[in-house]
């Protein structure tokens, strides 16, 4: 039995669902462009540079969820999937996921982006398991807070270990463990698996992958 872990944004997707969700809300008039677009771009630049304060970002990203009913949010998300997400799902990414599914591997998307945004995307890829940052909910509605450890950098390792332990597994339970990621932020988890793969890597990850002989692929 093998384990296949996939980062989502800029890895399986040719773009960033977290960033695009905010841009979508700006485009349909839910968020004020003047107030939110500059912040959204700044946070995205910090993420790419490896300097993002995850708690500051989550406060920015999750607060808008608390201002609208879940029914309304779900309606917006269906439009977001059609207009923004499906065009970012490349044939190469779909083929890669399908190869692992056909091999009988345990497939998991592990992403810092919150589960409200990413759960429908995981379903579209046909991936059953999702480890994502969890928005706090009360009576089925979002509070604007975060539950559990954010699934970011070292937090991905914590969340994965807890998820595996709940099933009686560790990474060593698998003959092979593979993790596909584009980002320097995922170096902590990439260093834990047996087969790290740099997919559409940023410059820092590419240099690290080349230095350590990791596989490098493009899903675009």
* Token output for 202: 């940023």
Cβ atoms of 13 and 125 within 8 Å: the answer is no
Dihedral angle over CA of 85, 80, 40, 60, nearest 10: -120
Q: Which of 7, 18, 105, 182 is catalytic?
A: 7
* Token output for 194: 């047996």
**Total count of residues recorded for the chain:** 220
Q: Is 7 a catalytic residue?
A: yes
Quote the DSSP letter at residue 85. Answer: I
Q: Is 9 a catalytic residue?
A: yes
Cβ atoms of 129 and 106 within 8 Å: the answer is yes
* Helix or strand (DSSP H, E) at 216: strand 215-217
The residues carrying an active-site annotation are: 7, 9
């Amino acid at each position: 039995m093998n384990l296949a872990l996939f980062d989502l944004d800029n890895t399986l997707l040719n773009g960033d669902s977290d960033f695009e969700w905010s841009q979508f809300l700006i485009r349909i008039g839910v968020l004020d462009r003047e107030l939110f677009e500059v912040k959204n771009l700044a946070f995205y630049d910090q993420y790419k540079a490896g300097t993002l304060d995850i708690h500051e970002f989550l406060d920015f990203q999750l607060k808008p969820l608390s201002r609208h009913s879940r029914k309304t949010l779900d309606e917006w998300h269906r439009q977001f999937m059609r207009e923004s997400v499906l065009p970012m799902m490349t044939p190469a990414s779909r083929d890669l996921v399908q190869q692992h599914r056909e091999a009988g591997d345990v497939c998991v998307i592990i992403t810092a982006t919150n589960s409200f945004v990413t759960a429908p995307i995981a379903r579209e890829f046909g991936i059953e398991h999702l480890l994502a940052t969890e928005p706090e909910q009360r009576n089925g509605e979002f509070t604007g807070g975060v539950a559990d450890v954010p699934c970011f950098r070292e937090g991905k390792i914590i969340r994965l270990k807890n998820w595996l332990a709940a099933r009686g597994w560790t990474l060593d339970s698998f003959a092979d463990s593979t993790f596909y990621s584009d980002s320097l932020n995922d170096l902590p988890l990439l260093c834990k698996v047996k087969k790290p793969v740099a997919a559409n890597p940023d410059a820092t990850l590419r240099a690290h992958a080349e230095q350590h002989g990791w596989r490098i692929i493009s899903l675009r």
